[in-house]
Amino acid sequence: MHIPDGFIPLGQCAIYFALALPFVVKSISWARKEMEEASMPLFATLAAGIFAIQAMNVPIPWGTSGHMVGGVLAAILLGSPYAGVLLLTIVLVIQALLFADGGVTALGANILDMGVISTFVGFYTYRGLKGRLGIFGASFAGGWLGLFVSALAVAVELAIAGTFPLAEGLMFMGLYHAVIGLIAEGMITSVVVTTVARVSPELFPELAGEVAA
């Protein structure tokens, strides 16, 4: 899903930077005010895990690459979509600058797609469905939908740039990530969230209460 350099014109890249920047600034403010010191080890562990899973890329015809994202998982466990935005921003900056995984000029687009769109869509899907589906079903749905919608956003951005045709991009990016969401993103998100709620209820009392219910 990482967009490399040269796939989007610089003017378009600037627009995505401008759209993503307020969310990044807000995520930093959230971390300073809301994230407790006890949550820092979990944040670091999630960042390392997401960095690792994003290294497993599947090439996609008429697209970029297919892989998990992980921002929804971070948002659910840490209680805010801004946790996912901050975590993905850190991961994407390191990937772009040190490992050339995702372009530097396209960093704003990648943060917007994976950090903002995926996390916000997935987190609020989870919040909206957890009363009816429970945390397992709601976190599965959130992980899957966040990944799927962000993949479609990539296809639209590349089509606007004239890099790939819209119909083919939507079909392949959507299809590949729908499958990845089912067998990986959704399942891992739901299993981890439910396990954490059962194993460490003192750290996540809200999640533990949902599991008990």
Mean pLDDT to the nearest integer, 201-210: 63
Q: What are phi and psi of 52, to 5 degrees?
A: -70, -45
Indicate if the pLDDT at residue 54 is higher than 70: yes
Whether the predicted pLDDT of 213 surpasses 50: no
The Cα 161–Cα 165 span in angstroms is 10
Contact status, residue 45 vs residue 102, Cβ threshold 8 Å: no
Asked if pLDDT for residue 71 goes beyond 70, the answer is yes
The pTM (predicted TM-score) of the whole model is 0.92
pLDDT at 125 over 70: yes
Say whether pLDDT at 90 is over 70: yes
CATH class for domain 10-212?
Answer: mainly alpha
* DSSP one-letter code for 69: -
pLDDT tier, 211 (very low <50, low <70, confident <90, very high otherwise): low
Label residue 201 by pLDDT band (50, 70, 90): confident
